[in-house]
């Protein structure tokens, strides 16, 4: 389960303290999460501290932020279980980010995911004292979604979609802001199921900017979506793994 580092049997001849300390050792934690990354075991694995932009929506609970971080990490490790196992620390109240155990190649890919400010080695592994503060050069990478007042863009990147959301539903939600050129939900080639994100293009930049400002954080089919400016290079060509983003559950 998310947050559980180890489950060990307590033997009669070993104290509970000894079992606990051994189960939480860096070596054991590394062995548990080695299997989580979707890459060759011969690749170097590291512990990383990931600084995140503040979500453009009101966060209700810690569980929602954990789910958000899991969906972000899914973009490089491939599935939800592996992402959950890889995360071993989260920050969600004042500064935003998480720590995870993935290989260096995954970390490089993670740095290019929208919403990620930086991915650095976790120099304080084994301690709860983590520095998620954004300073220096990191502040030069603000969220494009937080500057919606000045945004003019024709093309949007929408994440956090329910697997059951269709292009028709998405079109109906975004049509009120202007004429649409394209609504494309990215599908997994093997499962034929939605990857949880889509690209939307308008005929004018004004319409795209208005949609970005109004639709970020809205609920579609029970899931909270995140709307951002689409990168110049289409991410459906760049990212080969299954993805989805901020998907807090609402009951």
SS3 (DSSP) at 131: coil
Q: What is the pLDDT of residue 177?
A: 94
> Per-residue confidence at 221, pLDDT binned at 50, 70, 90?
confident
Which CATH number is 82's domain given? 3.30.70
Q: Evaluate if residue 84 carries a pLDDT over 80.
A: yes
> Per-residue confidence at 216, pLDDT binned at 50, 70, 90?
confident
Q: Please check whether residue 24 lies inside any domain of the structure.
A: no
- Please give, one letter per residue, the 3-state secondary structure of 155-175: EEEEECCCCCCCHHHHHHHHH
Domains identified in the chain, total number: 2
Pair 117, 163 in one domain? no
> Per-residue confidence at 133, pLDDT binned at 50, 70, 90?
confident
Q: What is the pLDDT of residue 124?
A: 83
Q: What is the pLDDT of residue 48?
A: 93
Q: Evaluate if residue 62 carries a pLDDT over 50.
A: yes
Pair 113, 173 in one domain? no
Q: Please check whether residue 11 lies inside any domain of the structure.
A: no
Contact 243, 79 (CB under 8 A): no
Q: Please check whether residue 25 lies inside any domain of the structure.
A: no
Q: Evaluate if residue 250 carries a pLDDT over 70.
A: no
Q: Evaluate if residue 55 carries a pLDDT over 60.
A: yes
Residue with tokens 């050129």: 181
Q: Evaluate if residue 251 carries a pLDDT over 60.
A: no
Q: Please check whether residue 31 lies inside any domain of the structure.
A: no
Handedness of CA 145, 64, 35, 125 (dihedral sign): positive
Q: Please check whether residue 164 lies inside any domain of the structure.
A: yes
Q: Please check whether residue 54 lies inside any domain of the structure.
A: yes
Cα separation of 101 and 239, whole Å? 20
DSSP element (H, E) containing 75: helix 62-77
Give the residue-averaged pLDDT of 77-93: 86
Rg (CA), the chain: 20
Tokens representing residue 10 in the block: 């307590």
Q: What is the pLDDT of residue 208?
A: 92
Domain that holds residue 219: 155-229
Q: What is the pLDDT of residue 78?
A: 85
Which CATH number is 179's domain given? 3.30.70.330
Pair 51, 116 in one domain? yes
Domain boundary among 79, 103, 121: 121
Among candidates 161, 150, 142, which has minimal Cα distance to 215?
A: 161
């Amino acid at each position: 389960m998310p947050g559980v580092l180890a489950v060990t049997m307590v033997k009669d001849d070993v104290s509970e303290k000894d079992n606990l300390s051994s189960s939480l050792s860096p070596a054991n934690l590394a062995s548990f999460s080695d299997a989580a990354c979707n890459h060759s075991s011969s690749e170097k694995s590291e512990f990383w501290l990931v600084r995140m932009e503040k979500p453009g929506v009101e966060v209700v609970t810690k569980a929602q932020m954990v789910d958000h971080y899991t969906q972000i990490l899914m973009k490089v490790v491939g599935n939800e279980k592996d992402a959950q196992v890889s995360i071993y620390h989260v920050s969600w109240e004042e500064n935003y980010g998480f720590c995870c155990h993935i290989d260096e190649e995954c970390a490089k890919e993670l740095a290019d995911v929208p919403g990620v400010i930086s991915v650095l080695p976790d120099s304080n592994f084994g301690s709860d004292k983590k520095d998620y503060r954004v300073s220096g050069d990191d502040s030069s990478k603000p969220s494009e979604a937080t500057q919606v007042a000045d945004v003019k863009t024709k093309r949007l990147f929408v994440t956090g979609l329910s697997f059951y959301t269709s292009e028709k539903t998405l079109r109906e939600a975004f049509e009120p802001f202007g004429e649409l050129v394209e609504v494309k939900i990215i599908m997994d080639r093997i499962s034929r199921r939605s990857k949880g994100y889509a690209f939307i293009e308008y005929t004018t930049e004004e319409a795209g900017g208005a949609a970005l400002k109004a639709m970020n954080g809205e609920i579609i089919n029970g899931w909270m979506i995140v709307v951002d400016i689409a990168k110049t290079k289409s991410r459906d060509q760049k990212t080969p793994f299954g993805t989805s983003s901020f998907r807090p559950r609402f009951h």
